[in-house]
Amino acid sequence: MGAFIGVLGSLLVMVGLIGVLVLFILRKPKKIAGILTGVGFAMVITGVAIDPTIETEKAETANEAVDTAKKLTESEKKDPMPVAVAPDIEKPLKEEKTVEETKPVEKQSAKLEKPVPAENPTNSNGTTNLLAVTLVKIIDGDTIKIMYNGKEQNVRYLLIDTPETNHPRLGKQPFGDEAKQRNIELIHSGKLEIEFDIGQRYDKYDRLLAYIYVDGKSVQETLLEEGLARVAYVYPPNTRYLDPYEKAQEKAKEQKLGIWSIENYATDTGFNTDKVANEKPVTPKPEKITPAPAAPVQQPVVTPVPQATETEWFQNCTELRKKYPNGVAKGHPAYQSKMDRDGDNFACER
């Protein structure tokens, strides 16, 4: 019972002290708070008297409560109206704004990275795409004419040079006709495609510069391997296939094929036609022999044989030249229009 009264008294003391503090702040009379405090102290003393087993710590607790009340009172005097501090929301707002500000930048960046459509279907500089084209005409061993962007356009083969066939200054050079004929055979053997390099697309004569393919096989490399062309006109950055072309040329040199069969004919600056003319072997004239007079012989009567009307058929110019090395003219039994590529009424001429 004493313990209960003591605890209740302690509570009254604390209530009284808080009341004193509140009334002090509100500037109200302190009589009621003083009465509560007094009653509380009286109940604590009564409880101790009735039950001496109450721990002295209760008194210490009461004293600490008094000290706390005094400190609070002094604090209230210094700052009678404490202001609640709002949570720090400024930083998250700034971060959220930063995220919103970066969104338009990201959209703009994505828009700039969108690939730009090509001006035409053959705009492929810098790629290894093969573009199918239509042949118009074969000019010589390293030049053809095609349909490009809706118009006829000459194409000069990149990185190679073949002897001339009908140059206004150089005339016809050795192996010029062979290179042209081989080019004709290759171009007509399958699907014609071209490929551009990363550099300029036109030369000073307004000719397209390209790599030529038939059914995916390089025409330039074939001409080099067979000794009908030399590596030339190397202008970076249009040098994508320079290494394999030089290797193909080296093989033809070692085997002395075509232009390499004539010493000092093919050079780094072109084809030395004068050197070939000077080294052309001279065939000695046969001695004139006067035959002894022969006894007159009666000539037999020969019945004219009518000219055969049957035609001779050859699969290609290579087969035809085995029998007629210099080709045949129109009207000859072996003449075929498909072998007369240049339309000069003479098939498989050299």
Query: pLDDT tens across 128-146, in order?
Result: 899 999 999 999 999 999 9
φ, ψ at 89 (rounded to 5°)? -105, 0
Assign 278 a pLDDT band (cuts: 50, 70, 90): low
Smallest CA-to-CA distance from 174 within 265, 256, 268 is with 265
Each residue of 220-238: pLDDT tens digit?
Answer: 999 999 999 999 999 999 9
Question: Which pTM was predicted?
Answer: 0.47
Residue 231: CB atoms within 10 A of its CB come to 19
315 DSSP assignment = S
* Non-local CB neighbours of 186 within 8 Å, separated by 6+ positions: 214, 219, 222, 223
Q: How far apart (Å, rounded) are the C-alpha atoms in residues 157 and 142?
A: 5
Using the CB atoms, write b or e for 139-169: b if 16+ within 10 Å.
bbbbbbbbebeeeebbbbbbbbbbbbbeeee
**Domain boundary assignment for the chain:** 2-77, 131-273, 317-347
Q: Give yes or no for residue 198 having a pLDDT over 90.
A: yes
Each residue of 147-160: pLDDT tens digit?
Answer: 999 999 999 999 99
Residue 48: CB atoms within 10 A of its CB come to 19
Assign 104 a pLDDT band (cuts: 50, 70, 90): very low
Positions marked catalytic? 156, 164, 207
Angle at 253 between CA 248 and CA 259, to 5 degrees: 100
CATH of 131-273, one of 3.40.50.720, 2.40.50.90, 3.40.50.300, 1.20.1290.10: 2.40.50.90
Radius of gyration of the chain (CA): 56
Mean pLDDT of 85-114: 42
